[in-house]
Structure 1
Amino acid sequence: MLDNLLDPLILGVVEGVTEFIPVSSTGHLILAGHLLGYQDARAELLEIVIQLAAILAVCVLYAGRLLHVVAGLPTRVEARRFVLAVTVAFVPSVVLGLVLHDFIKNVLFSPWVVVAALIVGGIAILLIERAAKWARYHDTDQVPLGVALAIGFCQTVSMIPGVSRAGATIMGGLLLGLDRRAAAEFSFFLAIPTMLGASVLDLWKNRDLLDASLGLEIAVASVAAFVTAMIVVRAFVTFLGRHTFAPFGWYRIAAGLVMTAVLLGGL
């Protein structure tokens, strides 16, 4: 029994560590599943559903901020603007996700797609860090609807495994005038409806796979994802106070090259 839970535990840690930083949690989960030999339909469902635990970690960490927004909706313009901005940013992924869901699952979920996206995304991060030298928006409450919509379109690129939802939205935010912390936090908040919608959709489509043993594996992976996400999000926000995103770009390139060598060695 314990041996059967080791793979879900590892995947939960991978999810929690990678979900909210610009390195691609989906890409890392695909690669980890490939290396562990944990790749059937049940494993794919687990990898999607444990995102809910990562969402919960953000909700807990930002509970005060979220409750303040909800309480302020009747009276505060800033609260209504914030909710509307996140909603507008969410729409492009809803539309394209419903249209392309099956194509993405059946065609793009490949280790080779992931390693290519990791390397290209790493180069993009390094270039964007050089290009984004100014910031007009220093808080998520300040993000205009047009900018929010543009970030939402950036997020749709992350439907390609390995691109990174966090990477696409954070880098898009930087290019559109958000400072590093505001871009990261807007990405966190946008992740809540995006990941919730994707997880619920996959859970519903694959409900026939659910049983007691998979439920236990999901529970173990979810606890691991929640705990590690709590730690990583806190550390990430602190990191951004003193550093750029460049280390994540170099990491992506290195990880992509290493995994290319591993995949070629396995041929």
Structure 2
Amino acid sequence: MDWLDLARAALLGILQGLTEFLPVSSTGHLLIAERAMGFEDPGGAFTVMIQLGSILAVMWLYRQRIWDVVTGLPTKPEARRFALMLFLAFLPAVAIGLLAADYVKTVLYESLTVIAWALIIGGVAMLGIERFRPTPQVEDAARTPIGRAVAVGVFQTLALIPGVSRSGATIYGGLLMGLDRRAAAEFSFFLAMPTMAAAFVHDFLDVKDHITPDRTAEIAVGFLFAFLSALVVVKPFLDFVTRIGFGPFAFYRIAAGAMVLGALAMGWL
């Protein structure tokens, strides 16, 4: 391993952290970037491990909320309701993930065409939802009605398709379920914690044998930069979508998907 390997690991870590909580598909961006860089990731070990950096970043940002919920479970009804809401919203991803994980990893992850079209279709869907979404009725993500929270969890299952975006799918679902922009984005962050933690544990068990000593430095660098970049992006993203909306991300998705299709047609990827 040389400095070039570490530099590529740092760039991929930054990309992971920046895109994980934006509605643009971190997995899609990583798979495209790894292919473009010629980055070898046997078993997907690097990708799995650096995602942990993003998970820990959002948990750090919401550490007070997490602490309040955990310590309040025995005595506070609102803490128990919050935990139940997230648990029920999390279940659809568990069920569909267990059924479809092998197909997603062995077939869909290998197709940049699927990723490109998912980016484009997701961008078009986002523009439509922004324009025709129902009048917001929920302004606090923590007070999302449980039925609506479960519906958002069902939308999250769409993110098994690489290029759809986990945060994008949950945000779309939140907007359609009557959450305002900030609440939809924040609910996506809350739901990311159990979902991404469970996905990490599941994937880690599959890839642990590929985490060899000679890859430790590469993984450590990617993890660190994923953590730092996610830490930087979450709060500004909330402020941005509250003021501007999701339109710029929709146009970005469409443009990125179109460029990938063009690059595939030219034989560049």
Aligned mates of 1:194, 1:143 — CA distance in 2: 18
Q: What is the Cα-based RMSD across aligned positions, in Å?
A: 1.2
User: Number of matched residues?
Assistant: 266
Corresponding residue number in structure 1 for 2:33: 32
Corresponding residue number in structure 2 for 1:128: 129
Offset at residue 5 of structure 1 (A) = 1.1
Offset at residue 183 of structure 1 (A) = 0.9
Corresponding residue number in structure 2 for 1:102: 102
Counterpart mapping for 1:55-70 below 5 A: 55-70=55-70
1:142 aligns with 2:136: no
SS in structure 2 of the partner of residue 75 of structure 1: coil
Normalization by structure 2: what TM-score? 0.96
Deviations 1:138-158 (A, max 9, x none): 112211221111111100000
Corresponding residue number in structure 1 for 2:187: 186
Moved more, 203-212 or 87-96: 203-212
> Any conservation in 2 of the 1:24–1:162 contact (CA below 8 Å)?
yes
1:224 aligns with 2:225: yes
Aligned mates of 1:84, 1:100 — CA distance in 2: 25
Corresponding residue number in structure 2 for 1:50: 50
Corresponding residue number in structure 1 for 2:113: 112
SS in structure 2 of the partner of residue 50 of structure 1: helix
Aligned mates of 1:190, 1:39 — CA distance in 2: 31
Identity %: 48
Aligned mates of 1:146, 1:203 — CA distance in 2: 32
> Any conservation in 2 of the 1:15–1:54 contact (CA below 8 Å)?
yes
> Any conservation in 1 of the 2:41–2:47 contact (CA below 8 Å)?
no
Aligned mates of 1:193, 1:10 — CA distance in 2: 26
SS in structure 2 of the partner of residue 163 of structure 1: coil
Corresponding residue number in structure 2 for 1:5: 6
Offset at residue 186 of structure 1 (A) = 0.9
1:266 aligns with 2:267: yes
Offset at residue 48 of structure 1 (A) = 2.0
SS in structure 1 of the partner of residue 138 of structure 2: coil
> Any conservation in 1 of the 2:54–2:230 contact (CA below 8 Å)?
yes
AA aligned opposite 1:30: L
> Any conservation in 2 of the 1:79–1:141 contact (CA below 8 Å)?
no
AA aligned opposite 2:193: I
Structure 1 residue ranges, 4+ long, deviating more than 3 angstroms after superposition:
none
Corresponding residue number in structure 2 for 1:241: 242
Q: Structure 1: which 5+ residue stretches go unaligned?
A: none
1:171 aligns with 2:172: yes
Q: Structure 2: which 5+ residue stretches go unaligned?
A: none
Aligned mates of 1:186, 1:157 — CA distance in 2: 16
SS in structure 2 of the partner of residue 266 of structure 1: coil
Offset at residue 32 of structure 1 (A) = 0.4
1:93 aligns with 2:93: yes
Offset at residue 39 of structure 1 (A) = 4.0
AA aligned opposite 1:101: A
Corresponding residue number in structure 1 for 2:77: 77
SS in structure 1 of the partner of residue 137 of structure 2: coil
SS in structure 1 of the partner of residue 179 of structure 2: coil
Offset at residue 75 of structure 1 (A) = 2.2
Aligned mates of 2:156, 2:98 — CA distance in 1: 14
> Any conservation in 2 of the 1:34–1:111 contact (CA below 8 Å)?
no
Offset at residue 71 of structure 1 (A) = 2.2
Deviations 1:143-192 (A, max 9, x none): 12211111111000000000000000011001001111111111101111
Structure 1 pair 39–112 and aligned structure 2 pair: CA distance change class (3 A): farther
Aligned mates of 1:256, 1:122 — CA distance in 2: 9
AA aligned opposite 1:254: A
Offset at residue 133 of structure 1 (A) = 4.1
Aligned mates of 1:233, 1:40 — CA distance in 2: 27
Deviations 1:99-155 (A, max 9, x none): 111110011012111101000000000000011141111112211221111111100
AA aligned opposite 2:53: A
